[in-house]
Structure formats: C-alpha cells, structure tokens
C-alpha cells in the first residue's frame, strides 16, 4: 500500500514538473511573439503589443545673442491605472483626489471625478484618461503631492505621459521666419527648412494595447532611446526685430495698408538682423500671414532704376551731368505712354537729377536710346548681377523671379523701356535689398544669411559663412557714381524728407502700381531701400508697404519714414556708428584739422599756430600725419593723367589739382572734400568727370 502511495506521489510530482515546464515554454514563446509585435493569449484575454516610435525632443532656435526664439516645453497628459493602488490608499484618498481634480480642471463637479475613479476601480481599468487638457511641468510636480498620486506610478497608479509643445517666448515676433512644421511634415520658415537638424532621431519602445484601444508604454531592454534634435543659432537681433515690427505696425495702422515688410541686414556679412511681415485682417488688426520678404514676388518699381543706371554707366559714354529732356512728364512708346509722378514734368534736367527725382520718362528714354536696338545687352547686365534667379537662401520656398527676354513670347518694343523703371518684371524684396547691399559693400554681392550655425549645446556641428554671389557688380568708377546718386536721392531728391540726421542715408524710393486682372490700378506698392551711414555703411534695409490708403501713397512719404525710424534707433544704440566731433578751435596740445594741401601754405600755417612740423618730401603737395608732438608731411602723388587724392583738402586746392589732372569737376556742399567718386591713383581718360562731396 505504501509502495503504491509512493509511486502515485512520484507520478503526481513528475506531472506537475512537466506542467510547469510547458507553462514556461508557452511564456517564452509568447514573449518572442510580443517582441515581434504580434498578438498573444494569456488567461483567456487577447492583448496586443507593438514597437512604436518615440519622438525626440526638438532642438531650440536662438537669436544672435542666445535668446530663445523657439523651444520645446514638456507638457503632460494625465492618466490613471485604477488597479494599482491598494484598497486602503484608494478608499482613503479618492474623495480628496476628486476634489483636487475638480478644482484644478474646473470642468465638472468633484462627484463626477469621484464616480469616474470608483467606476474605473470596479471595472479594473488599467488606463483611464483623467482629463484631456495637458498640464505643465510645474503642475505635474504639484499633482505628485496629491492623495493616491503621491504613491507614485506603481503604487498610486498615476501616469504622466510627456508631450512636447513648441513654444515661442517672444510670441508672434518674426513668426513666419521662425516658421512651423505640422504633423504631416509640412511647414514654413526656419523650423521647416532646418527640420532635419532640429527634429533629431526618434527612438522606439514597446507599447501594450489595453481596453479602450489605448496604448500603454512597457519597459523593455530592447527599447531604443531617442536622440534629441540640434539647436540652430540665427542672425536675428531681438531688440532690432522689435523696433522694426513696431515701426512697420505703426505705419500700417496710419495708412490702413494691406501688407508690409521690413528687412534689416548687415552690409559686410549679409546677416539678416530683423525681418518683419504684417498683413491686415480687415478688422484693424495685423498679423504675420506670409513671409513676403523671402517668398513674395513684386514689381520693384523705381528701386530697379539702380540696375538701369549701372547698365547705362557701364555700357555707354553717358555722364551724370548729361542732359535729358523729360518734357511735360509724358512720353509715348508706340501706343503706350510713360508718365512721371511730378505734375507738369521736370523739363530738361541732368541724368543725376533724373535719378534723384525718379523720372520714369528719363529712365525709359535712356534705356531705349542706348539698348533699344540691342536689348540683350541690357539683359546681359541683369544676368551678370544674378537677380534673374533665386538667391539660394536658407529658407525653403524661394520663388523664381519673373523676367521677359528678347525673342521670347511676350517681349515687345515697350518691354525694355518699361523694365528700365521697374515694370514688367517681378522679384522678391530680398533680391532688391541684396543688390543695394552690394553697392554699400564696395560692389561685392553676398547671399543673405539667416542661420549662423547648427550646434549641440556649445559645440558647433555646422557653421555658415558669408557666401559671395557676385564678387564685383560693376567697376569702381560706376560704383562711386551710383553711391553718389543714392546719397543725392536723400539729400536733394524724392527722399529728402528723411535727411537732416547726424549721419547720412543713401537709398532709393519706389512706387509701383498694382496689377489686377491684367490692368494697372490706382493701388500702389511703396518702398524704400538703402543703407547707412552712407560714408561707411554698416546696415542696409528695405521697407515695402502695399496699398496704403489716404493722401500719402508714395515711397517717399509712406515707406521712407519707416526706414528712418529704424535707422535712427540703430544709430542711437550703436556707438560705433558715431563720428567723433571735430574741434572748432585749437586748444593747447591739440592739433588743428590739417589733412592735405600745398606744403608751403601748410608749413606757414603750422608755424603761425606754433605747431612743430617737418617734411620727408620736397613735393609741393603733401598729406599730414601726426608724429609724436609734431606733424609730418608726406608725399601726395600728383601728376598729369593720374587721379589725385583730394580728400581732406579745401575746395580751392582740390579743384586746382583735379583740373590739372585733366578731370572735369562736379561738386556738392561746402567745406573740405569728404569723398570723391573716382579712387585716387587711377588713370584719367579724356573727358572723365569726377564728383566730389564737400562737408
């Protein structure tokens, strides 16, 4: 009997061992199936597992001084596993927790929250969304101190699911330039253009699908950790951005305009320091609807006359002092009439005056006279300046400029005259600014830059340096003349309303009629583009305002004042732009203003004033340099056929030397020579004219 019992016991033990082994095998198989994302059955319940993507935290976008322009802030969705808290923890805390939730969310009475929690407990729900409103990190910390939740994830059942929300600390400042990326990976601005760098590398983790079709994360050693995105450092100056948007907004309100933009750029680097785009909502408010500065195509109007002047000065014998008859301000080309904005016309004027007063008739006639029979020659200049193609900027979505070409469909006898003053073509405002910036940058055209570098923490991964588009847009001779013209627009011409500052502005006004349904309307696009300080340019900028309403509808009285307001603000903040004031009287130990002139006269002047001076040259004409407590005279190369350096000289001396060299002199202002249009040391050709600025 005992033997039978012993055998039976052994059989039972063996059966139990086999059963346990079989269960272990099933569990192992089920684990393998779970890893593969397939379904498995346990205890009669069907449960799904899947290997899901875990989004990486998006990188930050910074201004030029490190201020945050865009960042990802952690927000949380609150859920609850009602099966985890023990009976005592749940019963003791459910009423207090319900009251806390009701007071925080303010969407329903606490009894509704209490009923939801108790029902979830009774039905054994492992995942209940407490409220769909996402909470901040600080609120998350607060909730972890609440009843039941204070027990943590495993004992209290609280689940905080992290969700990154894109946040802009400066709200709508430069909103369209900073941009966005939506769920479909479409977007605009820097967020979209640098999405690969900002988005990082997503990870992967196992998730369990439970009741209600909800996926709950499951820890597993095979989870792949996400790699957060890189940061980008922009060129934008937050203070200057605020100044630009404020000035533009004020003008848009004043003129009840439809759209407007401002771009401010550093001359030497091409770094965009501010970019603002505003549109009317039709109810007196303005917002950033579209980045017109980089993505909008407009007829440039009179600002295009700079390109026309460069082509004329480079490819003809025209001089700024030559005359052009604009008549009564109207001139017919075939059946079409070109008109000036001046009533009654400007009559017979110089080329310089024609540019300064923005005569459409003059530009159209000059272009037709010099390029009418060879229009491709004019278009060659357009191609050489690269304004017929996209700039290749760092922001995706730049459109292709629209030009008509000789021999192509749409080209006619009026195409060239109309193009000469900025009609019949479309370019972006950034194209126009880039061209004017090249004039300020001694002829070097550079690509606008929005992002300086891509980095992780303080380590740079990519660095974007200044990129040259055209090394020299024209000869130095032409460059000096167009700079003189652009200063003249502000001093004597259409933009004289913004002169009279402590520094000089150079630029050009523009007013173009808006084309609608194939016809030009009485609506206008007004603009002003230029640079400052004119003597040593540091910043260039463009202002464009579309469809201003009221009495003022020209670039001179709509866009130019905005430019000046921004420029004045920059000038007041940047001490490096300020010129040192010259002493009007000689003080003990201080040298008077003696720069250049006739050595005999300058020596006599110094002797009278008791200033020690000596010479290393026996030449008649010299330049001064300070040598300790005395002045040293150095040779100033003067000769027939060579352009002398007359900067700093009195007008009398400068006039004598320039005429001796065979140059015809045209001057402006009073006092000593501040600048000359032809660089010293160059050769003089017969009939050359030089323009000198006195001051």
The verdict on whether omega for the bond into residue 533 sits within 30 degrees of 0, i.e. cis, is yes
pLDDT of residue 231: 93
Q: Do the Cβ atoms of 296 and 424 come closer than 8 Å? A: no
Confidence of residue 197 (pLDDT cuts 50, 70, 90): very high
Residues 23 and 135 in one domain: no
Q: Is the pLDDT of residue 585 over 60?
A: no
Alpha helices (H) in 161-300, listed in sequence order: 175-178, 189-193, 195-199, 238-255, 292-295
Least confident of 51-60, 245-254, 440-449, 529-538: 51-60
43 part of a folded domain: no
- Rounded CA-CA distance 213/611 in Å is 95
Least confident of 348-352, 566-570, 581-585: 581-585
Q: Is the pLDDT of residue 11 over 70?
A: no
Determine the 3-state secondary structure of 631 from DSSP: strand
Residues 681 and 637 in one domain: yes
pLDDT of residue 439: 97
41 part of a folded domain: no
582 part of a folded domain: no
- Rounded CA-CA distance 477/643 in Å is 12
Task: Name the CA dihedral angle for 184, 187, 192, 198, rounded to a multiple of 10 degrees.
Answer: -50
Residues 527 and 601 in one domain: no
Tell me the percentage of the chain whose pLDDT exceeds 90.
Answer: 53
Q: What is the per-residue pLDDT across 206-247, written as a single tens digit (0 to 9) for each?
A: 666 655 445 566 666 567 777 888 999 999 999 999 999 999
Rounded to two decimals, what is the model's pTM?
Answer: 0.74
What value does the CA radius of gyration of the chain take, rounded to a whole number of Å? 37
Residues 428 and 291 in one domain: yes
Q: Is the pLDDT of residue 117 over 70?
A: yes
Residues 624 and 570 in one domain: no
- Rounded CA-CA distance 143/76 in Å is 11
Q: Which domain holds residue 15?
A: 2-36
> Regarding predicted confidence, which is higher, 617 or 559?
559
Q: Which of 186, 208, 234 is the last residue of a domain?
A: 234
Q: What is the CATH number of the domain that holds 182?
A: 3.90.1310.10
Residues 269 and 228 in one domain: no
Residues 511 and 606 in one domain: no
Q: Is the pLDDT of residue 29 over 70?
A: no
Q: Do the Cβ atoms of 40 and 34 come closer than 8 Å? A: yes
675 part of a folded domain: yes
Least confident of 155-169, 560-574, 676-690: 676-690
What's the whole-number mean pLDDT along residues 428-433? 97
Q: Do the Cβ atoms of 498 and 541 come closer than 8 Å? A: no
Least confident of 385-394, 513-522, 624-633: 624-633
What's the whole-number mean pLDDT along residues 551-560? 85
What's the whole-number mean pLDDT along residues 519-529? 91
Buried b (16+ CB within 10 A) or exposed e, 280-296: beeeeebebeebbbbbb
Q: What is the per-residue pLDDT across 652-676, written as a single tens digit (0 to 9) for each?
A: 777 877 887 778 887 777 777 888 7
Residues 151 and 253 in one domain: no
Q: What is the CATH number of the domain that holds 284?
A: 3.40.710.10
372 part of a folded domain: yes
In sequence order, the 6+-apart residues with CB closer than 8 A to the CB of 268 are: 441, 466, 538
Q: Is the pLDDT of residue 586 over 70?
A: no
Quickly list DSSP for 222-244: T-B--BPPPEEEE---HHHHHHH
Q: Do the Cβ atoms of 288 and 277 come closer than 8 Å? A: yes
Q: Which of 211, 234, 257 is the last residue of a domain?
A: 234
- Angle formed at CA 173 by CA 167 and CA 174, multiple of 5 degrees: 100
587 part of a folded domain: no
What's the whole-number mean pLDDT along residues 258-286? 94
- Bridge partner residues of 666 (DSSP): 691
Q: What is the per-residue pLDDT across 17-28, written as a single tens digit (0 to 9) for each?
A: 655 555 554 444
Residues 23 and 69 in one domain: no
What's the whole-number mean pLDDT along residues 437-453? 96
Q: Do the Cβ atoms of 114 and 94 come closer than 8 Å? A: yes
398 part of a folded domain: yes
Q: What is the CATH number of the domain that holds 633?
A: 3.30.10.20
70 part of a folded domain: yes
* Number of domains making up the chain: 4
pLDDT of residue 12: 65
DSSP 440: H
Q: What is the per-residue pLDDT across 81-106, written as a single tens digit (0 to 9) for each?
A: 999 999 999 999 999 999 999 999 99
Confidence of residue 609 (pLDDT cuts 50, 70, 90): low
Q: Is the pLDDT of residue 688 over 50?
A: yes
Residues 181 and 323 in one domain: no
Residues 552 and 683 in one domain: no
Q: Which of 234, 254, 279 is the last residue of a domain?
A: 234
Residues 143 and 15 in one domain: no
pLDDT of residue 644: 80
Q: What is the per-residue pLDDT across 251-260, written as a single tens digit (0 to 9) for each?
A: 999 999 999 9
Q: Is the pLDDT of residue 558 over 70?
A: yes
């Amino acid at each position: 009997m005992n033997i039978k019992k012993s055998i039976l016991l052994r059989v039972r033990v063996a059966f139990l061992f086999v059963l346990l082994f079989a269960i272990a095998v099933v569990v192992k198989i089920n684990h393998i199936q779970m890893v593969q994302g397939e379904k498995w059955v346990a205890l009669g319940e069907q449960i799904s597992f899947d290997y899901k993507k875990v989004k990486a935290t998006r990188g930050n976008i910074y201004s030029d001084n490190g201020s945050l322009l865009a960042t990802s802030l952690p927000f949380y969705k609150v859920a609850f596993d009602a099966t985890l808290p023990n009976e005592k923890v749940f019963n003791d805390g459910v009423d207090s927790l319900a009251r806390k939730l009701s007071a925080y969310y303010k969407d329903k009475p606490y009894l509704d929250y209490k009923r939801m929690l108790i029902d979830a407990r009774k039905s054994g729900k492992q995942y209940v969304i407490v409220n769909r409103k996402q909470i901040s990190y600080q609120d998350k910390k607060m909730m972890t101190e609440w009843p039941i939740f204070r027990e943590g994830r495993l004992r209290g059942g609280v689940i905080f699911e992290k969700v990154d929300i894109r946040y802009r600390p400066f709200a709508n400042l430069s909103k369209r330039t900073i941009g966005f990326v939506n769920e479909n990976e479409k977007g605009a601005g820097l967020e979209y253009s640098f999405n690969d760098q900002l988005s990082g590398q997503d990870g992967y983790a196992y998730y369990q699908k439970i009741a209600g079709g909800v996926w709950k994360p499951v820890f597993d050693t095979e989870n792949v950790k996400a790699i957060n995105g890189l940061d980008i450092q922009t060129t934008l100056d937050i203070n200057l951005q605020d100044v630009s948007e404020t000035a533009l907004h004020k003008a848009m309100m004043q003129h009840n305009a439809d759209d407007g933009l401002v771009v401010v750029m550093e001359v030497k680097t091409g770094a965009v320091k501010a970019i603002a785009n505003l549109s009317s909502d039709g109810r007196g408010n303005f917002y950033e609807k579209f980045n017109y500065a980089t993505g909008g195509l407009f007829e440039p109007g009179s600002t295009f006359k700079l390109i026309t002047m460069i082509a004329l000065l480079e490819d003809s014998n025209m001089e700024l002092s030559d005359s052009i008859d604009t008549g009564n301000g109207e001139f017919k080309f075939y059946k079409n009439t070109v008109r000036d904005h001046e009533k009654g016309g400007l009559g017979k004027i110089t080329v310089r005056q024609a540019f300064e007063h923005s005569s459409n008739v003059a530009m159209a006639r000059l272009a037709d006279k010099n390029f009418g029979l060879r229009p491709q020659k004019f278009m060659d200049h357009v191609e050489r300046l690269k304004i017929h193609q996209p700039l290749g900027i760092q922001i995706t979505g730049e459109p292709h400029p629209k030009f008509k070409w000789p021999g192509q469909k749409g080209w006619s006898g009026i195409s060239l005259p109309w193009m000469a003053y900025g009609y019949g073509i479309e370019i972006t405002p950034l194209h126009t600014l880039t061209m004017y910036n090249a004039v300020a940058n001694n002829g070097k055209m550079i690509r606008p830059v929005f992002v300086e570098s891509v980095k992780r923490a303080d380590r740079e991964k990519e660095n974007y340096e200044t990129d040259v588009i055209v090394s020299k847009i024209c000869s130095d001779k032409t460059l000096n003349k167009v700079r003189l013209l652009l200063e003249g627009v502000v001093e004597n011409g259409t933009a004289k309303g913004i002169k009279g500052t402590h520094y000089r502005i150079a630029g050009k006004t523009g007013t173009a009629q808006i084309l609608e349904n194939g016809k030009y309307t009485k609506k206008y696009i007004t603009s002003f583009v230029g640079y400052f300080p004119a003597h040593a340019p540091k910043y260039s900028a463009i202002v464009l305002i579309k469809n201003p309403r009221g009495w003022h509808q020209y670039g001179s009285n709509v866009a130019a004042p905005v430019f000046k307001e921004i420029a004045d603000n920059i000038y007041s903040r940047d001490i490096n732009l300020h010129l040192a004031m010259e002493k009007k009287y000689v003080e003990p130990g201080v040298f008077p203003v003696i720069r250049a002139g006739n050595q005999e006269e300058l020596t006599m002047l110094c002797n009278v004033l008791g200033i020690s001076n000596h010479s290393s040259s026996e030449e008649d004409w010299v330049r001064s340099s300070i040598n300790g407590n005395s002045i040293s005279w150095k040779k100033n190369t003067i000769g027939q056929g060579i352009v002398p350096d007359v900067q700093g000289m009195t007008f009398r001396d400068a006039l004598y030397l320039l005429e001796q060299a065979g140059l015809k002199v045209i001057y402006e202002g009073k006092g000593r020579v501040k600048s000359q249009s032809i660089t010293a040391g160059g050769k003089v050709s017969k009939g050359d004219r030089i323009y000198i600025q006195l001051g």
